[in-house]
Structure formats: C-alpha cells, structure tokens
Chain A
Amino acid sequence: MANAAAFRVCPETGLKVCHHAEILIKANAVVAVVFLAIGGLFGLLVALTRWPAVHILPADLFYLALTAHGADVLLFWIIFFEIAVLYFASAVLLNSRLAAPKWAWFAFALMLVGALMANVAVLQGESSVMFTSYVPMKAAPHFYLGLIVFAVGALIACFVFFGTLVIARQERTYEGSIPLVTFGAVTAAVIAVYTIASGAIILIPTFLWSVGIIPHLDSIMYKVVWWGMGHSSQQINVSAHVAVWYAIAAMVLGAKPLSEKVSRTAFLLYIAFLQLASAHHLLVDPGISSSWKVFNTSYAIYLAVLGSMIHGMSVPGAIEAAQRRRGLTQGAFDWLRRAPWGNPAFSGMVLSVIMFGFLGGISGVVLGTEQLNLIMHNTLYVPGHFHATVVAGTTLAFMAITYLVVPLIFRKEIMFPGMARWQPYLFGLGAMGISFFMMGAGTLGVSRRHWDMTFADAVLKFEYPPAAFLMMGLNGISALLATLGGIMFIVIVVGSVFFGKPRDEAAIKRNPVIGPSGGAAVSQYGGEATFNLPGTTILVAVFFVSFVLYYFINWKYLSEVWPLR
C-alpha cells in the first residue's frame, strides 16, 4: 500500500510530488476557479443592479443572483480552493503520499454534487433566501440538502488531510516539526471540522423542517448556530490565506518568519478563540445579554484579533528581513521599492496583506464592537467589510498563489505574462473600490440586500442622501474593474492550464518561480538580532494609528444618534 503511490521529483524544489495529490490539487483548483467565474458574474450583476443609474436586474432576479453570488463565491470557490491548499500543504510540502486518494475523490464528488444541487435550487427560483437562509423564510429542500452534501464532502477532505499528516509522520518523510505553512493549514483544517459540525447541527434540522418533519425552528437559535458555521468558516479563510502569504513570501523571496514561535502561537490563537465569534452576528438581536456579547465579540479580549495583528507584522517583517539580507539595506523602504512588483504572485500577496489589514481588519473590529454595531448592522457596511476580507484578502491571496501553482503543479508556463503582471493590481483596485464604497454607503445608512434604494414603489417615501447614490455609482465602476481583473485571471489560468506550453528544463532555468537564493539567504532564523526592520516598524505604526483613529471616530458617530437604553 505504502508504495502504491507514484511520485515525481519537482525539478525546482526537489520536493517529491505524489501523483494522486497532484491531480486532486488540479481538480479542486479548476472547479474552484469555475465557481469563481460563475459567482463573480452574479456579483457583477448584483453590483450593476445596485448602481441606481443602471439598475439592470428586476427585483426577483436580483435576489436570486445575490443568493447565487454569496453561495458560489463564499462557499464553493473558496472551499474548493482551500481543499487544494490542504493537499498541497500536506502531501507536497511534506514529501508524502496522499492518504486515501479514493476518499479524496469521493469527497470531491460529494462537494461537486452538493454545489451543483444548491445552484440548481437557486436558479429554479424557489430558494432566493440568501446564503444565510435565516428561518422562518424557507428554501426548497434540495437547497439545504446541497449544502449538507457539500459540507460532508469538505469534511472528508479535511480527514484526508489529517490522514496525510499522520502518514508523513509515520513514514518519516520530513525531519523535525512540520513547516509553518503546513501548520497554518492544520489550523484551517481544525477550524473546518468545528465549522462543519456546526453546519450539520443547523442545516440538518433545517432540511427536515423544509420537508415538514420538524414543525418549528427558533429564529434566534438558528442564527446562533448558523453563525457558528458562518463565522468560523471565515476564520478558515484567514488561516488559509495567512498560510498562503507565508508560502508566497518564502517561495518567491526566501523569506522566513521572524520567529517560528510567534507565528505559530498566532495560529493557535485562532483555534482557541474563534468559537466565540458567532456572537457578533447577533449584537442587535433580542434577548441576548450585553455581558455575553461583550465577552464573546471581543473573543475574550480580542485574542484572535491579536493573532491577525501578529501575522500582519510578521509577514512584512519576514519580507523586509529577507530583502535586507539580500543587500537592499538603503533607507527604510528600499527593500520594498525594489521588490519584485512585476511578479503577480508577489504583488497579489502584498496587496492582499495590506487590504486585508487596513480595510478588512479594522472595519471588522469596529463592526464587531457591541454598541458600534447599532450604527452598521445590515447596512452595506457589512458587505463592504467582508469584500475587504474575502475578496481583497482571501481571493487575491489565492489568485496570487495560483501563479505559483500553475508552473509547479500543472507544470505549465503562465500564458500572457504581460496581462498577468497587471492582473493583481486591477483586481485589487476593483476589490478595494467595492469594499470602500459599500462601507461608505453603509455609513450613510444604505441597507444591504436591497433592490431599490430610491423606494420608488413603496407606499411612503424616503431618500438617502445624494452622497449615498454617488457611492453606489463608484461601487458599480469598481465592480467593473474587479470583474475585468477577474476575467483576466480566468483567461490566464484557463489558458495556461489547458493550452499553455509545458514547462521544460530550459523554461525552468530561464524563469524560475522559486526565488534564486531560496532559503539560503536567510538560513539563520529566530531572533533577528542583527536586523533592524525600520520599514516594517513604520508600516505597523501607520496601521496602528489608523486603527485607533477610526475606532474612536465611530464611537463619536455612535454618540450622536438617539440615546437608547
């Protein structure tokens, strides 16, 4: 059995790549990209409808498209890709064979069937309930069933990942501890198991209710447990994309964490504190005590946020240290100026770090503050926030690593390199725009998931301020940019994978994806006593000041609304 797996040796890294792992990574990544394309198209339609001057879809199709958008991108694109990341971080990085490839294919099939079933349900029009499907609004039974089947598949895939870790350890395919990137993937997978369990606890009864077996579901209980899945799954995304950040920095620049201990502890903080997070989706719901909300939303005094803040320093710090070792020691930012900005893996990763931190992280903490949620709940601020986290953060990071996965795993040259250079910037700018302008509109009170901000057909009248209309127009323009960046990505990836030139020895020499000095340039790790990191220090200081200012500005806004007790 142990020898059943075939391997090839990667000519660039010397890693042994298990044949099964390789095709499974390909299959999951390709399906992921297909769902990104479908879901992204729905996203464009939604954004164009919310642009009052364009208002492209009728109301029923708008709500349908919004449901499909949420499910296809947030669940199917991201999770398929994450499974590919898990197989990569276990089998490939650990030089191991993949555990139970048959089960991995079974998981893949279940996920695909589930995702298709949910899509069919939504497209049939009886399940425009949004991906949150809050009860007592009811979708068609096969909508819930699709999600359940998908989740079971994802759960099996996580166990294949854990199995691979066990095999790698038993067969001694690596020395010492697992690498940091794999550690991040373990974090993601542990959280995934918890998440999927919550999902099962809520979706199975909801399915039974939709077919009439269970008479009643409590709407608060539903929200609490649903977000046990919904929020935790965001922590999977964060763990996965942070692991991807470290992976790209290491592969492209030979960067390693400032200290393994700190980065690993930061991952552990995610595991330890995330279960508390579902509370911040119920900050303005009835019957939940303030003390529970304060404790839970702060994830016990913000320890998971602390984890992200640590990574936010340690990733740029690792890059700066690597660059300085390479001799780019002039001034505070020479290392940054002379970074490989034309390499889409690098630029995508840096943009992802910056936008996730500045836009997504700060807005998330503000939004999740007990009292501040009153002035933002269910406004467009919410999608604004999470487009900064899952689009500018996770999606961009996943796109970035795809530029390494295509040559290394698919062994194809990247097609259209000129376009690839620009793709992360264009998509990043678009993603930044949709996040920023939706947050702006939300600050002005505009509702999320809302077909007509002019209220033309309502009995009573109300007008949002003109600035809100401007925001929605700019949001539409940003959506066009993001879509263009998304189409470029898909053209490049599909083109390279299916029609690209195979990567031969000559190509590898001419155009290595793995940085020239690899790990050698930074062979000493741990306390970087010899390196000052003035650039990172300044970046982190700017981040911190922005955070503090924006946080208190929102308290000022809150203090101006009607007193409530």
Chain B
Amino acid sequence: MAITPPENRLWWNEPLHRMEIVWITIAFLWGVVMFLTMVYWHIAGQQNLSNEAYRVKPDAFAAKAEAMVARYKVREEGDSKIPVVRPPAGGDAYLIARLWEWWPILELEKGQSYRLHLSSMDWLHGFSLQPTNINIQVHPNYEMVLTVTPTQSGEFAVVCNEFCGIGHHNMLGRIYVVDRK
C-alpha cells in the first residue's frame, strides 16, 4: 500500500513496469517537441514578442507621445476630444496607458509595419487588442517596443486587462486600421 512503507526494502532495485517505460519515453519526447516548437517559432513564426525594451521615465515617454500627436494628428473624436493620430507607415507609434485611458487613438494602414511603443504613466495596465486577441503587459518605467503589422482593416479596441483600480473596466482605447489608398 502506498500509505505503508514499501514492503520490499530495496524498492529502488525493482524493475520498471513496461508501460511506465513506454509512457515516460513518450512524455519526455513530447516535452522535447514542445520545447523545440517554441524555438522553431522564433525562427519561422510570424508572432514573436519583441525583446526590445528601455527604462523610461513616465514624463519622458509622455513627451515623445505628445510630439507624435502634435505632428501627425488627423482629427479629434468624441466629447473628450481624443486625438486620432496617423503615424507614417514604418514609423513609431506611441501609446500611453494611464488611469483610465489609452491615449491617443492610432490610425494605422493595413499591411504596413509600425514600431509600437507601450508604457504606463502610473500602475500596471494590460494592452489587450480586441477582437484580434493580442495581450501584452504594460509597466510604468519600462518602454516596450514591438513591430506590428495589422493584417485586417476595421475598428479595434484596446481593452485594459490588468486590474488598475476602480476605473479599470472603463479603460478602453481604440486603434483604426484603414486600407491603403
């Protein structure tokens, strides 16, 4: 019985059950396959999270985002007049996370790549692009830079999916993706 000491004091000398050997081998090899799949995806896959990140002070990041807005703003939206910004294809797009908004609204071109910069002004936030379903953690004092290529046009929401206080569920941003003219 498993609740009593092994009857055979030399339990470590006992032969293995054949089924155990087979299963351990299969399970081990499956682990190797799963490990190699991650490595393979870094080589051949299209969706790998960037390793590019910098330490940044919130003010410094906000200043860069404001400069982008000043330069590339195309219109404003809603009562709160959130700027809609259209950064050049291939260029830098800044997105600020703060209690409780994503700022500004970005307008991107389908099929073009952008260097998207993410950082928080205060607490942790979660960048959750919907309905595409890409989810990235956003920290204060860190600027993450990733290159994204929108492949569908339309209206996308940026939900905050890291709890950030009482306004968390109202923290909703937007990204437009437009077809190339």
Q: Please list the residues of chain A having a beta carbon within 8 angstroms of any beta carbon in chain B.
A: 59-60, 63, 93, 129-130, 134, 136-137, 174-181, 218-220, 246-247, 249-251, 254-262, 282-290, 294, 297-298, 301-303, 305-306, 309-310, 313-314, 317-318, 365, 369-371, 373-379, 444-445, 447-452, 455, 457-462, 464-465, 518-519, 522-523, 525-529, 533, 536-537, 540, 544, 547-548, 551, 555, 558-559, 561-565
B157 in contact with A305 (CB, 8 Å) = no
Count of interface residues, chain B, beta-carbon cutoff 8 Å: 91
Q: Please list the residues of chain B having a beta carbon within 8 angstroms of any beta carbon in chain A.
A: 1-9, 11-12, 14-20, 23-24, 26-28, 30-32, 34-35, 37-39, 41-42, 45-51, 53, 78-80, 82, 101, 118, 122-124, 126, 128-144, 146-152, 157, 159-166, 168-174
Given contacts A262-B16, A290-B51, A561-B133, contact A177 B11 (CB under 8 A): yes
A247 in contact with B3 (CB, 8 Å) = yes
Query: How distant is the Cα of A77 from the Cα of B8 in the complex, in angstroms?
Result: 37
Query: How distant is the Cα of A249 from the Cα of B23 in the complex, in angstroms?
Result: 21
Query: How distant is the Cα of A63 from the Cα of B128 in the complex, in angstroms?
Result: 20
Q: Which residue of A lies closest to B160 (CB)?
A: A447
**Which residue among A130, A262, A561 has the maximum number of chain B CB atoms within 10 Å of its CB?**
A561
Q: Which residues of B contact A247 (CB under 8 A)?
A: 2-3
Residue from the list B4, B11, B147 in contact with A564, Cβ < 8 A: B147
B38 in contact with A284 (CB, 8 Å) = no
A59 in contact with B24 (CB, 8 Å) = no
A287 in contact with B4 (CB, 8 Å) = no
A374 in contact with B163 (CB, 8 Å) = no
Known A261-B12, A529-B15; further 12 A-B contacts with Cβ < 8 A = A178-B5, A374-B47, A378-B126, A450-B163, A461-B172, A462-B172, A465-B131, A525-B14, A526-B14, A527-B17, A562-B150, A562-B152
* Consensus secondary structure, chain B interface: mixed
B2 in contact with A256 (CB, 8 Å) = yes
Given contacts A179-B5, A378-B162, contact A317 B17 (CB under 8 A): yes
B34 in contact with A378 (CB, 8 Å) = no
Question: What are 11 A-B pairs at a CB distance below 8 A?
Answer: A137-B123, A177-B6, A219-B142, A251-B1, A256-B2, A261-B16, A301-B35, A371-B49, A449-B162, A462-B172, A522-B1
Q: Which residues of B contact A175 (CB under 8 A)?
A: 5, 9
B143 in contact with A286 (CB, 8 Å) = yes
Q: Which residues of B contact A379 (CB under 8 A)?
A: 128, 133, 135, 161
Q: Which residues of A contact B166 (CB under 8 A)?
A: 59-60, 63
Query: How distant is the Cα of A227 from the Cα of B166 in the complex, in angstroms?
Result: 24
Given contacts A260-B14, A457-B170, A528-B17, contact A563 B148 (CB under 8 A): yes
A455 in contact with B49 (CB, 8 Å) = no
B30 in contact with A371 (CB, 8 Å) = no
**Which residue among A60, A283, A374, A378 has the maximum number of chain B CB atoms within 10 Å of its CB?**
A378
A548 in contact with B30 (CB, 8 Å) = yes
Residue from the list B6, B9, B50, B170 in contact with A455, Cβ < 8 A: B170
B31 in contact with A219 (CB, 8 Å) = no
Q: Which residues of A contact B11 (CB under 8 A)?
A: 177, 259-261, 525-526
A527 in contact with B48 (CB, 8 Å) = no
Q: Which residue of A lies closest to B34 (CB)?
A: A302
Q: Which residue of B lies closest to A297 (CB)?
A: B38
Query: How distant is the Cα of A134 from the Cα of B48 in the complex, in angstroms?
Result: 25
Residue from the list A294, A317, A445, A558 in contact with B131, Cβ < 8 A: A445
Query: How distant is the Cα of A544 from the Cα of B23 in the complex, in angstroms?
Result: 10
Q: Which residues of A contact B160 (CB under 8 A)?
A: 447
Q: Which residues of A contact B80 (CB under 8 A)?
A: 459
B3 in contact with A93 (CB, 8 Å) = yes
Q: Which residues of B contact A246 (CB under 8 A)?
A: 2-3
A558 in contact with B35 (CB, 8 Å) = no
Q: Which residue of A lies closest to B19 (CB)?
A: A533
Query: How distant is the Cα of A378 from the Cα of B163 in the complex, in angstroms?
Result: 9
